[in-house]
């Protein structure tokens, strides 16, 4: 058995943009005894989580829950709706959009990748007009799906999904709209039905505050219809059998019982706090974080106004500073994990996660660790970022709401 008790005194600051810290309330729920997944109590649990999860996606249509990481739910979305050789229009917002494209290739699809050269497209959201222009050219309707990432976890940019829907409609194109909100759901406003999304993909380990291990497909009627004719092979991921059995609260295979206890608790917590309050909390913390980065005189990875992610902030390093060395120093000295730069951004930036079960003082501690680490790494900071964030939080502070079941952690 490896020694997992390797952290020094005090709690570890897990400030990566997912997995996010799991509140005690959820950890306790996960520790309930594992029950018979064909017994009566399980059916009750299944029906409850399946009813409540739709409220988070804002959908009245089926949500399929898989015992898999988010990558599995990506594959499920493509394999249920597409056939080998189909063209899909994907948009390069960052590393995760690129990984999804790679998966599409491996599945035998033909992805077209829109975007901008170098890292320019990795600093902005999806440009819906580019999607509209490409769809207008596709008179034969060769493109079967438009695939976009809502909250690009590798960059800290949130895209406008309603604008993508409008672009598809303006072009009069029948392509399905597939959206990855793995790191957006439960932290950033998301509306599966209202935005006309056909498949929404999400995961447990970010805004839902659960450990990794479950993922989701929210599915529209149009996507379900497409799945009846989609020719790509699928078995484990197939929606039809799962949706049929879910009607009674069960799954066709052994579901992730203990993580579903956790999901039930997570959904209670999210609904008790209220989605609008949660979105406002994330937005406020993200603004304070950006105030700190600006006060340091460092660049924020996202350069497009209004598209900054409420979930994480990407911090660019000055020339010659290796972001991973800064992260390593902070980890070793201050017991805090920050997100690494991924893909094209390796070494150029680090990511501060401020999502899920978090609050003002957690952010101030995080920024304190960053500020000390940056100084120790020889980065010349223009000003006091922690003070700037505190000013921002203090100016917008209000008494904390207390929820019926007590403290959230
Ligand atoms: N998409 C996004 C936006 C992500 O942030 C992640 C993981 O962080 C994934 C996809 C892949 O999900 P997983 O690592 O759970 O398989």
Residue 391 covered by a domain: yes
pLDDT at residue 126 tops 60: yes
Structurally, the chain folds into a number of domains equal to: 2
At residue 7, the pLDDT reads 73
Domain harbouring 333, CATH code: 3.90.1150.10
For residue 391, the CA-to-ligand 1 centroid distance in Å is 33
User: In this structure, are 336 and 242 located in the same domain?
Assistant: no
Distance, CA 74 to ligand 1 centroid (Å)?
9
Confirm whether pTM is higher than 0.85: yes
Given 217, 246, 271, the domain boundary residue is 271
- Report residue 43's pLDDT band, with 50, 70 and 90 as the boundaries: very high
Token pair for 162: 């309603």
Ligand 1 atom nearest to 74, measured from its CA: 10
pLDDT of 1 reads 62
Measured in Å, residue 181 CA sits from the centre of ligand 1 at 9
Distance of CA 353 from the midpoint of ligand 1 (Å)? 14
Q: Are residues 234 and 365 in the same domain?
A: no
Measured by CA distance, the residue closest to atom 9 of ligand 1 is 70
Residues 380 and 351: beta-carbon distance below 8 Å: no
Of 271, 287, 306, the last residue of a domain is: 271
Assign 404 a pLDDT band (cuts: 50, 70, 90): low
Q: How do residues 17-41 score in pLDDT, each as one tens digit?
A: 999 999 999 999 999 999 999 999 9
Judgement on whether residues 127 and 231 belong to the same structural domain of the protein: yes
Q: What's the CA-to-centroid distance between 387 and ligand 1, angstroms?
A: 33
- For 182-214, the DSSP string reads TTTTTTS---TTTTT-SEEEEESSSTT-PPS--
- Judge if 172 and 260 occupy the same domain: yes
Q: How many residues does the chain have?
A: 409
- Is 174 within the bounds of a domain? yes
Ligand 1 mutation pick, 102, 180, 182, max ligand atoms within 8 A of CB = 182
Q: Is 155 domain-assigned?
A: yes
**Whether 253 and 338 share a structural domain:** no
Same domain, 256 and 308: no
Provide DSSP, 237-306.
T-HHHHHHHHTTT--SS---HHHHHHHHHHHHHHHHH-HHHHHHHHHHHHHHHHHHHHHHTPPBS--STT
Tell which phi-psi region holds residue 206, choosing left (phi > 0), alpha (psi between -120 and 50) or beta. alpha
Q: Specify the 3-state DSSP secondary structure of 147.
A: strand
Q: What is the mean pLDDT of residues 228-247?
A: 97
Give dist(CA 299, CA 325) in Å, integer: 18
If asked whether residues 253 and 363 sit together in one domain, one would say: no
Q: Are residues 278 and 245 in the same domain?
A: no
| Geometric angle at alpha carbon 53, from 72 and 244, rounded to 5° | 70
Residues 199 and 116 in one domain: yes
233 with 356, same domain: the answer is: no
Nearest ligand 1 atom to the CA of 151 is 3
* pLDDT band, very low/low/confident/very high, at 403 (cuts 50, 70, 90): low
pLDDT of residue 407: 44
DSSP 174: -
Considering the domain architecture, whether residues 29 and 87 belong to the same structural domain is answered as: yes
Within-domain flag for 408: no
Structure tokens at 347: 């070494």
pLDDT tens profile 382-391: 999 999 999 9
Q: Please give the distance, rounded to the nearest whole angstrom, from the Cα atom of residue 295 to the centre of ligand 1.
A: 31
Q: Which atom of ligand 1 is closest in space to residue 184's alpha carbon?
A: 3
Q: How far apart (Å, rounded) are the C-alpha atoms in residues 365 and 371? A: 10
**Quick one: average pLDDT of 228-257?**
97
The mean of the pLDDT values for the chain is 96
- Which of 240, 255, 271 finishes a domain? 271
**Which pLDDT score, from 0 to 100, does residue 409 have?**
43
313 vs 157: CA distance, rounded Å: 8
**pLDDT of 4 strictly over 90:** no
Q: What's the gap in Å between 76 CA and the centre of ligand 1? A: 14
Structure tokens given for 238: 């197939």
Q: For ligand 1, which residues put their CB under 6 angstroms from it?
A: 18, 69-71, 96, 149, 153, 180, 182-183, 203, 212
CATH number at residue 151: 3.40.640.10
Mutation pick for ligand 1 pocket among 69, 152, 203 (CB with most ligand atoms within 8 Å): 203
Q: For 315-354, what is each residue's pLDDT tens digit?
A: 999 999 999 999 999 999 999 999 999 999 999 999 999 9
Whole-number Å distance, alpha carbon 351 to ligand 1 midpoint, is 15
Instruction: Specify if 185 maps to a domain.
Output: yes
Residues 267 and 280 in one domain: no
Q: Pick from 74, 99, 153, 186 the residue to mutate for probing ligand 1's pocket: most ligand atoms within 8 Å of its CB.
A: 153
Instruction: Note the pLDDT tens digit of each residue in 141-173.
Output: 999 999 999 999 999 999 999 999 999 999 999
CA-proximal residue: ligand 1, atom 12 (nearest):
70
Mean pLDDT of 81-102: 98
Please tell me the predicted confidence (pLDDT) of residue 8.
84
Dist. CA 380 → ligand 1 center (Å):
33
Q: Is residue 202 part of a domain?
A: yes
State in Å: Cα 180 to ligand 1 middle.
9
Task: Give the atom of ligand 1 at the shortest distance from the alpha carbon of 152.
Answer: 3
Residue 369: which domain range? Answer: 13-20+274-395
Q: Which atom of ligand 1 is nearest to the CA of 71?
A: 16
| Nearest alpha carbon, ligand 1 atom 5 | 153
Residue 403 lies in a domain: no
> Is the residue at 405 inside a domain?
no
Query: Quick count: other Cβ atoms within 10 Å of Cβ 304?
Result: 13
């Amino acid at each position: 058995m490896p020694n997992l008790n390797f952290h020094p005194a005090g709690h570890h600051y897990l400030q990566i943009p997912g997995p996010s810290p799991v509140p005690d309330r959820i950890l306790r729920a996960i520790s309930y005894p594992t029950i018979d997944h064909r017994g009566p109590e399980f059916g009750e649990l299944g029906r409850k989580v399946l009813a409540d999860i739709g409220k988070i996606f804002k959908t009245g249509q089926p949500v399929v829950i898989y015992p898999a990481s988010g990558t599995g739910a990506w594959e499920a979305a493509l394999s249920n709706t597409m056939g080998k050789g189909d063209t899909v229009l994907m948009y390069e917002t960052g590393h995760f959009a690129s990984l999804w494209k790679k998966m599409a290739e491996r599945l035998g699809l033909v992805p077209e990748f829109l975007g901008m050269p170098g890292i320019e497209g990795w600093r902005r959201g999806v440009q819906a007009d580019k999607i509209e222009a490409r769809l207008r050219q596709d008179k034969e309707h060769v493109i079967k799906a438009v695939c976009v990432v809502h909250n690009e976890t590798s960059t800290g940019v949130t895209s406008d999904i309603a604008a993508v829907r409008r672009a598809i409609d303006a072009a009069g194109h029948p392509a399905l709209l597939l959206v990855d909100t793995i790191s957006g759901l439960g932290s950033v406003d998301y509306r599966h039905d209202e935005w006309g999304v056909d498949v929404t993909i999400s995961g447990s380990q970010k805004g839902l505050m659960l450990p990794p291990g479950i993922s989701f497909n929210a599915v529209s009627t149009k996507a379900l219809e497409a799945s009846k004719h989609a020719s790509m092979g699928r078995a484990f991921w197939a929606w039809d059998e799962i949706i049929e059995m879910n009607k009674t609260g069960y799954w066709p295979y052994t579901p992730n019982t203990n993580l579903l206890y956790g999901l039930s608790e997570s959904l209670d917590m999210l609904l008790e706090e209220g989605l609008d309050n949660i979105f406002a909390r994330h937005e406020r913390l993200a603004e304070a974080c950006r105030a700190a980065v600006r006060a340091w005189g460092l660049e924020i990875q996202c350069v497009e106004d209004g598209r900054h992610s409420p979930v994480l902030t990407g911090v660019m390093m000055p020339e010659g500073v290796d972001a991973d060395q800064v992260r390593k120093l902070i980890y070793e000295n201050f017991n805090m994990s920050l997100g690494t730069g991924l893909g094209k951004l390796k070494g150029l930036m680090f990511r501060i996660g401020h999502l899920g079960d978090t609050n003002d003082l957690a952010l101030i501690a995080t920024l304190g660790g960053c500020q000390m680490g940056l100084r120790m790494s020889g980065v010349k900071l223009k000003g006091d970022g922690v003070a700037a964030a505190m000013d921002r939080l203090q100016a917008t502070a209000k008494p904390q709401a207390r929820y019926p079941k007590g403290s959230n952690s």
